[in-house]
Structures are given as C-alpha cells and as structure tokens.
C-alpha cells in the first residue's frame, strides 16, 4: 500500500488530500513518524524519523495521531480481497503482502493481469492505491513493488533479472543499511551487479554468512516460499518517556498498562506464552533485557505484570532511570494444545471468565472503557515521571 496510514487519514478526511499529512507520536514524548504522505515526503519526512525532526523539516505538516484500530480494519478488507485470488498470501505487516499466484493463472489470467485486477479492486473497495511488483521470487517482487511508487506496477520476467539488477544501487538489497553499504562501497561495490560478480569468499571475510546471503540475492536467487498466516513469534508493548522515569510507582504503572495490552493482544490472537521479557533503555541509550520462563503459558495481563516487576528488580532502572520500558511475551502456543494443569486451575478459570468479560467491553468501547483503578488514578507528574 502507498503511504498507508497517511492515505487512510486523507481518505477518511478528504480536506487533507493534497496536503502534507504525517502520522506520528507526539514530539514531546520522543515520538516517531509512522507514515508520511507523498506531499510530506517532498520535505524529506519519512517513517521512523523522530517527530521533532519531522516538524523542523515540514512545519506546515498536519500531524495526526496513530489510529491503529482503523488501519487494522482497512488492512483486513484488503487481505480478504487478496485471498480471493490465491490462498498463498503472506502478510508482512498491515500494508504489505506477498502472493504466490502460480496456481491462479488458469482462473485469472497471467500475473500482470492479476496484479492489475488486484490494484483495481483495492482502489474500488477502499479508495486507496497500491503498488505491485511481479517477479520469479519474493526478493525481486519486493524491489519491483517499490520501483515506481505510488500506484506503481512493475514486472520482472525471468529473462530480465540480470539486466534489472545490474545498475540497481546496492542499498536496494534487503538488509543493506548504512554500515553495510559503507563496507561494500569500501570494496568498490556500489551497484548490485558489481556485488554479483565479486568473489564470494572476499565478501564473506568482510560480512560473514550475511555477506554470502547478499551475494545470492544480488544474483537474483531467492528460494523462500510464500508462507501464509505465519504465526507471530512474540507480542510486545513499549514506550519511551519524557522525562525519564525514576520512581518505582511510575515504572509500575507503565508496566501494568503495557502488560494488560499484551495480554489483550494474546487473547485476541488466541495465543499464550511461556516467556516474559522486560526491556529497559537507560538515559545513556544502553539497553538491557531480562527474561523469565513461566511454569505454564499465560495470556493474563496480571501474570505478565507480576513477572515483569520481578525482572525490573534485576535491572538498574531505579538507579539510572528509565528512558524506555517494554514488556513482551514469546515462546507462544495455541491455548488448545495440551498443557500441565496447575493446582489452582479452577481458580484460574474463574479469573479467565472475568477477563473475558472485560475483553468484550474493550472490543466494543476500546481499552480505556474499563481499567484497573491504579491506571485511572491521577498522580502528580513529578512523582510519577521525575
């Protein structure tokens, strides 16, 4: 999808069309840009940029908060449409998916026609534009989809792969960031075609196995299959604070809210997890993580929270302050898989029924409709956040 979050905002509010729209967290909370319309990109604004920097680059920009529930709703519309063409749909995020249409040609025609029809249907259904790339594998299709945004359509046929990659900037290879690009450029490699012809052993000396993977991609080779409905590996929440947290009360409140959200997301996706992880970033930007494995998997916010508090004791957050706190759950499984029952299983089931009632309220009215008293209680900012 093209500038998805910003495009949804412009569609929902037509008065924003043609204006620089920036969907981002608050600058005063060290927020970052989630999406920028193409009108905003002219000023150099892009995703993952600090909101404060975006405001300097584009002072006339229209800054809007993230409406994740709305973007999820539109994304589900698009995903439903994609699965009409093939069951082999692998969603990478709310706005990006791979489709394997190998078996769809007899029904819908050649790949180019399928892509054109998908783009038309998306626009007809949502009023939004999408860019599509058609190629023999995922790596090439991804590059092709980015090639002529917005509203682009590029096909790389098998016999055109080498020519297409020859003059492509090395930064277009997946995983090549600034530091990797500098290493490759120090070897005189600026184009993908140059990397394809470089001795792999020399690249391996500089970049290890990752370097060999880049050489393989530079030659247009990628055997990864399209894997539909990949299970999430973890679910997490985190927040950056201004000013830094240095009181235990403030840290507890932040972790409780995050734990409740993680629990809710686990239950929505019908998942439970064995491992709770705490992330703490100190004011000097150093990052520490602590993990604990539970005796049985959970999707309950209070269990996650109580574990996170124990992990907090194993950090120096109170001594150094916390710039960022985050809670996550991994080692996930489906609730219907067999598990060892605890001695307090019946009491646990009663608690789960109570949580299910809260979930129904959240689903209908949002997470702020009903909360624990400690999250509603107003506390002085100096006491909570230092």
How does DSSP assign 22-59, residue by residue? EEE--GGGT-BEEEE-HHHHTTT--TTSBHHHHHHH-T
User: Tell me, what's the pLDDT at 65?
Assistant: 93
Per-residue model confidence as pLDDT tens digits over 165-189: 999 999 888 778 888 889 999 999 9
pLDDT value at 158 more than 80:
yes
First CA to last CA distance, the chain: 41
pLDDT value at 140 more than 70:
yes
Count of CB atoms within 10 A of residue 279's CB? 20
Count of CB atoms within 10 A of residue 278's CB? 25
Whether 96 is catalytic is: yes
356's CB contacts (< 8 A; 6+ apart) are: 267
CA distances from 281 to 70, 155, 194 (A): 30, 44, 40
pLDDT value at 227 more than 60:
yes
- The encoded tokens of residue 268 equal 């929505």
Instruction: Indicate which residue of 96, 160, 204, 238 is catalytic.
Output: 96
Position with higher pLDDT, 162 vs 229 = 162
Per-residue model confidence as pLDDT tens digits over 30-42: 788 999 999 999 9
- The encoded tokens of residue 14 equal 């037509």
User: Reduced to 3 DSSP states, what percent helix, strand and coil does the chain have, rounded to the nearest 5?
Assistant: 50, 20, 30
Q: What is the DSSP annotation of 209-269?
A: HHHHHHHHHHTT---PPP-TTPPPSEEEEEEEEEEEE-SHHHHHHHHHHHHHHHHHHHHHT
User: Tell me, what's the pLDDT at 251?
Assistant: 95
CA distances from 352 to 276, 357, 380 (A): 19, 9, 33
Average pLDDT on 234-242 reads: 88
CA atoms of 83 and 258, how far apart (whole Å): 33
Q: Which domains does the chain have, with CATH numbers?
A: 4-66 (3.40.1170.60), 69-160 (3.30.70.270), 162-218 (1.10.150.20), 234-385 (3.30.1490.100)
Q: What is the DSSP annotation of 354-375?
A: HHHHHHHHHHHH-TTSS--HHH
Length of the chain: 386
Per-residue model confidence as pLDDT tens digits over 63-111: 999 998 899 899 999 999 999 999 999 988 889 999 999 989 889 999 9
- The encoded tokens of residue 120 equal 């038309």
Per-residue model confidence as pLDDT tens digits over 296-321: 899 999 999 999 999 999 999 999 99
Confidence label for 361 from pLDDT (cuts 50, 70 and 90): low
Q: What mean pLDDT value characterizes the chain?
A: 87
pLDDT value at 379 more than 50:
no
């Amino acid at each position: 999808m093209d500038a998805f979050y910003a495009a949804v905002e412009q569609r929902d509010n037509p008065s924003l069309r043609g204006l620089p729209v920036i969907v981002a967290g608050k600058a005063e909370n060290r927020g970052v840009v989630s999406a920028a319309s193409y009108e905003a990109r002219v000023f150099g604004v892009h995703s993952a940029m600090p909101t404060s920097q975006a405001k300097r680059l584009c002072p006339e920009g229209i800054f809007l908060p993230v409406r994740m529930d709305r973007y999820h709703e539109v994304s589900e519309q698009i995903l439903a449409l994609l699965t009409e063409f093939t069951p082999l749909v692998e969603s990478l995020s709310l706005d990006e998916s791979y489709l394997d249409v190998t078996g769809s040609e007899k029904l819908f025609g050649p790949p180019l026609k399928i892509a054109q029809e998908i783009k038309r249907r998306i626009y007809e259904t949502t009023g939004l534009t999408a860019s599509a790339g058609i190629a023999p594998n995922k790596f090439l299709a991804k590059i092709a989809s980015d090639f002529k945004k917005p509203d682009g359509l590029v096909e790389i046929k098998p016999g055109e792969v080498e020519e297409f990659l020859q003059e492509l900037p090395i930064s277009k290879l997946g995983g090549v960031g600034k530091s990797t690009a500098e290493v490759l450029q120090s070897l005189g490699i600026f184009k993908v075609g140059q990397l394809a012809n470089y001795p792999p052993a020399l690249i391996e000396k500089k970049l290890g196995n990752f370097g060999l993977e880049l050489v393989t991609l530079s030659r247009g080779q990628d055997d990864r299959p399209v894997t539909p409905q990949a299970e999430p590996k973890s679910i997490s929440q985190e927040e950056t604070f201004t000013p830094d947290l240095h009181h235990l009360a403030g840290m507890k409140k932040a972790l409780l809210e995050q734990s409740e959200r993680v629990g809710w997301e686990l239950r929505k996706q019908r998942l439970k997890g064995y491992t709770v992880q705490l992330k703490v970033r100190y004011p000097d930007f150093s990052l520490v993580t602590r993990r604990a494995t539970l005796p049985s998997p959970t999707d309950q916010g209070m269990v996650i929270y109580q574990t996170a508090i124990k992990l907090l004791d194993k950090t120096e957050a109170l001594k150094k302050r916390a710039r960022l706190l985050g809670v996550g759950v991994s080692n996930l499984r489906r609730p219907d898989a067999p598990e060892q029952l605890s001695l307090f299983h019946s009491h646990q089931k009663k608690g789960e029924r109570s949580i299910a009632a809260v979930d129904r309220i959240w689903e209908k009215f949002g997470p702020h409709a009903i909360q624990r008293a400690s999250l509603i209680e107003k506390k002085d900012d100096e006491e909570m956040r230092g």
